Every structure is written in C-alpha cells, then in structure tokens.
Structure 1
Amino acid sequence: MPSTLRRAISEITPYRTPVLVASVPAAVWAVWASGPGWSTPALVVLAVASTALFAIDASTHRLPDAIVGPTAAAVAVLLTVAALADSAFDALLRAALGGLALGAAYLALHLVNPAGLGFGDVKLAGVLGAVGAWYGWPVLWGVALVPFLVGGLVAVALLVSRRASRTTAIAFGPYMLVGAALALTGARLGLLA
C-alpha cells in the first residue's frame, strides 16, 4: 500500500463513523450542486474528502497533506478531463487562475499571521478556489468571502456565549468547506450569477 494512502487511512480512522455517515449525503449534494456534466466527479471527490477534512480539522486543527494533496490532484485531473470532454477550456483556465488566486490570498494571510491561519488552509484554498472558479467568477467570490462571514458569525456567537475567548484557537478549515458548499449551492440555485 502506498505511504500516502496509509497516512490518509491513519488520519481518517479515528473519525471513520462520522466521515462515512457524512460522505453519502455529501456525495448526493455534490451530484446535485454540480448539475449534469463532466465536472460532477471532481465535485464528488472534493465533497467526500471534505467530510474527512472537516472532522479532522475541527478536532485537531490540522488539514492533513495525506488528504489535501491527493484531493487536489484528483480534482485537477477530473477538471481537466471535464474540460477535454466538454471543450470547456475557458472553465479550466478560470479554475487554474481561481485556484492560484485564492491560494495566493490565503498564503498572504498565512505569512501575516502564521498562528492564525495554517498552511493546510492555504493548500485547501487552492483546491476550493479552483472548483469555485470552474463554476464562474461569482462563485469564486462566494468561496473566498463566505467562509469569513460564517466563521466570523460563529466566533462572535462563541464570544457572546462565553464558550470562547479572544485567544481561543478556532479551526478555519470547516468554515472554508461550509462556505464553499454554500457558495456552490447558491450558484446552483441561481443566486450567484
């Protein structure tokens, strides 16, 4: 068994029940959110991987390379196949630019405050940016901004309820994933045009 696969399995094992339970609805949502088309497998892979990333980051404040890396590679290959099948080279270019742009923005935030935003968040941002941009520039904006809105609202609620203080570390990966899902859902519903 390849070492990356062994590491991914070891990262997921403590969370296997919630990940397995959440993977099916995540995959169903991805099929719906992507609409009919060749990009569906890429979104399904990202959605299923997101269930593991969400559980792990919420618990350990880590987004493991053993999951983010293969997910990024699979999404890149599947979007390339989708572009070839649909002659959607404009969408592929937009995805590449969106991934680079959002990854670079998160890298800048990481460099400003490494303790506030981990490098796993930077790598995940590239994947989410690529997928969001595949569906259009407005979706990329949603993928970029909604996580900060959702994370900010939750942080305020935690502060007000005194379940957290100003120094409490909060994993940002789950908010990135929820924000991306909300942006893609908004796009599917025609709210992001």
Structure 2
Amino acid sequence: MTDALLVTAQLGFVAVGAWLTHIDISEHRLPNRIVAPTAVAIAVLCALAAAVTGSVAPLVSGALGALLLGGFYLVLRVASRGSLGAGDVKLALPTGLILGWDGGLALVVGAVLAFVVGGLWAVGVIVTGRGTRSTHIAFGPCIILGAVLGLAVT
C-alpha cells in the first residue's frame, strides 16, 4: 500500500510538472494556485503512508527533503538577488518532499540534476544563438526534470 501511495504521488508530480513546465517556459512563472495544492497533496499522501505503515519515517523524510531543498533554493534566491524566481523556491518544497520521501540519495541526485539540466539548457540557448550569458531561462522545468531523473535513477 505504501508503494502505491508513493507511485501515486510520483505520477501526480510528473503530471503537474508537465503542466508547470509548459507555463514556466511560456510565461516565466510558476502559479501558486498549482504549486501549493501539489505540495499539500504530496504531504497528505506522505501522511497516509505513515498512517498505513505505522511509521513516521516517510513523513519525516519527506518533510526534511522539503525543508532542505526549499531552504537551499531560498539561499540561492537571496544570493542571486532575485535572479532565481520565488516560484522556483516554492516549487522546491513539493520537489524536496517527493524526493525526500523516496530517500536521501534521490534528494541529492534530483537536486544536482536540476542544475545539470539547467546548465545544458543554458549552453544550448547560447550555442544556438537564441540568447547570451545574460538571458534568463525558466528554471522550473529544470527542477522538475531533475527530480524526475533523480527518481528514475535511484
């Protein structure tokens, strides 16, 4: 039953992630009306998994993942003087929750892969002549794809 809840959360994250990717690429924003309910739904599924197993481990692991990734992105936002969007910081919470629920390795790999994807995207923009080093790219899709890849390889 716990595996079914985790898979449900992961598939929901992928589906909502595809929607958010489209929005972020076209509008450079990640709407709270989508990100917040996603975080709540994943948290509820974590809580259900904890209740079913009688262990708070999935809930604690997910919450720690959300706090760590969300805190990391908040520090990056402050350090970048706003170049990293507030939506990216908010998206880090459900992303950290889903990655943390799967485990510490998934959290680290998913977080690192977001920056690998972002770097590759930025290089592609420059190489194709569609932008320069100062061109802003939507980072939400990188967060989502990094998380999905992190879940897939761990």
| TM-score between both structures, scaled by the size of structure 1 | 0.75
Contact 2:114 2:144 in 1 (8 A): yes
The one-letter code matched in structure 2 to 1:62 is R
CA distance in 1, matches of 2:55, 2:62: 11
Corresponding letter in the other structure for 1:76? A
Which of 113, 117, 122 is matched with 1:150 structurally?
117
Q: 1:86 aligns with which of 49, 53, 70?
A: 53
Equivalent AA in structure 2 for residue 168 of structure 1: T
Give the alignment of 1:44-63 within 5 angstroms. Answer: 44-63=11-30
User: What one-letter code is carried by the residue in structure 2 that aligns with 1:162?
Assistant: G
Match of 2:130 in 1: 163
* 1:95 equivalenced with 2:95 (yes/no): no
Amino acid at match of 1:47: V
Query: Does residue 184 in structure 1 map to residue 154 in structure 2?
Result: no
- The residue identity in structure 1 corresponding to 2:72 is A
4+ residue segments displaced more than 3 Å: none
Structure 2, unaligned stretches of length 5 or more?
Answer: none
Residues 38, 86 of structure 1: 8 Å contact kept: no
1:136 equivalent among 103, 114, 127: 103
Give the percent of matched residue pairs that are identical in Structure 1 and Structure 2: 41
- Which structure: larger Rg? 1
Q: For residue 4 of structure 2, give the secondary structure of its aligned residue in structure 1.
A: coil
Deviation of 1:36 after TM superposition, in Å, equals: 4.0
Give the drift of 1:151: 0.8
Say what the alpha-carbon RMSD is for the aligned residues.
1.4
Q: Amino acid of the residue matched to residue 132 of structure 2?
A: S
Q: What corresponds to 2:78 in structure 1?
A: 111
Q: Partner letter of residue 25 of structure 2?
A: A
Using the alignment, how far apart are the partners of 2:87 and 2:148 within structure 1? 18
Q: Which amino acid aligns with 2:15?
A: V
Deviation, structure 1 residue 38: 2.5
Please tell me the residue identity of whatever aligns with 2:20.
L
State the distance in 2 between where 1:154 and 1:38 align. 33
Aligned partner of 1:185: which letter?
A: A
- Residue segments in structure 1 that go unaligned for 5+ positions in a row: 1-34, 188-193
Matching residue's letter, 1:117 = L
Q: What TM-score results when the alignment is normalised by the length of structure 2? A: 0.93
1: CA distance, partners of 2:54 / 2:109: 25
